[in-house]
Structure 1
Amino acid sequence: MTTTTPTAAATRAQTDWTRNHARAAGALYLITFLASIPALLLIAPVLDHTDYIVGTRADTRVLWGCLLDVVTALACIGTAVAVFPVVKRINESLALGFLTARLVEAGIILIGVVSLLSVVTLRQDLAGTTGEDTATLVTTGRALVAARDWTFLLGPGFMSCINALLFGTLLYRSRLVPRFIPAMGLIGAPLLLTAGIATFFGHNDQLSAWSFLATVPVAAWELSVGTYMLAKGFRPTAVTAEQM
């Protein structure tokens, strides 16, 4: 007959508790991928056509894209909320910083969503106008799209670097996941941040090859950490060590 000591039972219960948080965070990380990539494709018409606001365009398509961006923002917050009870035991300041950075990123994303929704609303309410009104609408539409472009740089661009540095440091120190996973984020974050700063000052384009290459390590880090946490949770030995 096999018996379980109270210590072993407590360790198992603690591991199961952290695994639930890890799996929730992993699922939400993957949701950000599943929502953000098609969202970018769906909102392409309003981003690519400077006269979108005065034409007959794919409003329904754009609205779906905006809705997916809202899902991305909410999932973004959820990733930090889910792991916070676990990682705060490693370093509460870093854990709180990660949670705050995720909230800021989500807020910036939502500002971009509101900008595009405003374009759609103006197009639906004022489409068909002529003369000077048309020129004014086009200028307004361009301004709103420009605002969204800046949110894309500051949110998924800058803030994802801060998130990778904070969460990556927590996971690297604690070994809650294999170290090569957070290492990708810790290496990729400075690269993406450098590309973002170059874009900020007009020396680089967000759609350039350099920006794409700089994005790959951070994207790989987020995809890897999400997949690992969803599939395996946190490493039991690391969880046990954190409780000692």
Structure 2
Amino acid sequence: MTGALFLTATVAGVISVPLIAPDNGPHARQAGALMVLIMAGAIALIPTTLFPVLRRYGEARALGYVAARLLEVVMLLPAAAGPLMAVAAPSPPVEALVRTEERWGQPASTLFFCLGAVLFYTLLWRARLVPRWLSGWALVAIAPYVAGAVIVLFGVVDPASPVNSAMYAPLALNELVLAVWLLARGFAVRAAAEVPQRPAPVPQGV
């Protein structure tokens, strides 16, 4: 289930980026908004399916991952609502709301995504639930993803620019590979079963 949700979120997110660009027509932006809604729904469900496993290897980090992903969803929802409102009730206030979301909401959601990714992949690295090359790849790829969000936040590039897409690509590709890995192999059975146990008390002599 987690693999399918990762696959859905990543594919929908990639499709939504060019569609919700400000210079697109209303129909393209509506389609992009639908993709954002699909992505947000998948993202909201991912930590729910992962928490029962991740909590065994660090409950505080697992809870932090859940919180970061839910905040990411909160920041994403205006990206879906804005284009729909602009088509249904076009007006200067709605257009201003859409521009504000594009300027601040999308980069903020990306930063929460990166925070969640750091917590998630460090847990995977420590617990060896997937091969370390896969979690290590993600931890390295987070750096350009954060940089892409920052340069969008400060207006250096457009969210749909080729430069920004190139900076997002390594982590997006990693999540696709992770999704396929989880669908095909799942978490490492031995690692998932090795819940830390307290040592048994030593019997005392009479």
- State the partner residue of 1:21: none
**Corresponding residue for 2:188?**
235
How much has 1:241 moved relative to structure 2?
Answer: 2.8
Structure 1 stretch displaced more, 100-109 or 188-197? 188-197
Matched, 1:214 2:196: no
Gaps of 5+ in 2: 198-206
| Aligned partner letter, 1:154 | A
Once the two structures are superposed, residues 101-126 of structure 1 have per-residue CA deviations (whole angstroms, 9 ceiling, x without a partner) of 11011111112212222211213xxx
Partner of 1:154: 108
My pick for the range that moved more, 206-215 or 230-239, is: 206-215
Equivalent positions of 1:193-204 (< 5 A) are 193-204=146-157
The question of whether the paired residues in 1 share the 8 Å contact of 2:107 and 2:150 is answered with: no
Displacement of 1:73 in angstroms is 0.5
RMSD: 2.1
Closer, same or farther in 2 for the Cα pair 1:207/1:42, shift >3 Å?
closer
* CA distance in structure 1 between the aligned counterparts of 2:23 and 2:157, rounded to whole angstroms: 19
Distance 1:58 1:192, change over 3 A: closer
Pick from 111, 116, 124: which aligns with 1:163? 116
The amino acid across from 1:173 in the alignment is R
Match of 1:145 in 2: 98
Matched, 1:112 2:79: yes
Aligned partner of 1:29 in structure 2 is 6
Q: The residue matched to 2:57 in structure 1 has which SS?
A: coil
Q: 1:198 to 1:40 in 2, by over 3 A?
A: closer
Superposition deviation, residue 196 in structure 1: 2.0
- Partner of 2:126 in structure 1? 173
**TM-score (normalizing by structure 1):** 0.72
Q: Partners of 1:38 and 1:207 in 2: how far apart? A: 11
Q: Which residue of 1 aligns with 2:16?
A: 39
- Amino acid in the other structure paired with 2:122: T
**Alignment counterpart, residue 23 of structure 2, candidates 48, 57, 73:** 48
Deviation (angstroms), 1:161: 1.2
1:183 aligns with 2:160: no
CA distance in 1, matches of 2:33, 2:152: 24
Q: Which amino acid aligns with 2:47?
A: A
CA-to-partner distance for each residue in 1:40-80, whole Å, 9 max, x for gaps? 34434xx215xxxxxxx544x54343222112111001111
Residues 191 and 145 (structure 1), Cα distance of their counterparts in 2 relative to 1, 3 Å cut? same
- Structure 1 gaps of 5+ residues are 1-23, 50-56, 124-136
CA distance in 2, matches of 1:37, 1:204: 17
Task: Flag the 1:182–1:147 CA change in 2: closer, same or farther, 3 A.
Answer: same
1:176-216 CA-partner distances (Å, limit 9, x unpaired): 00011111221111222123223323344434444233212
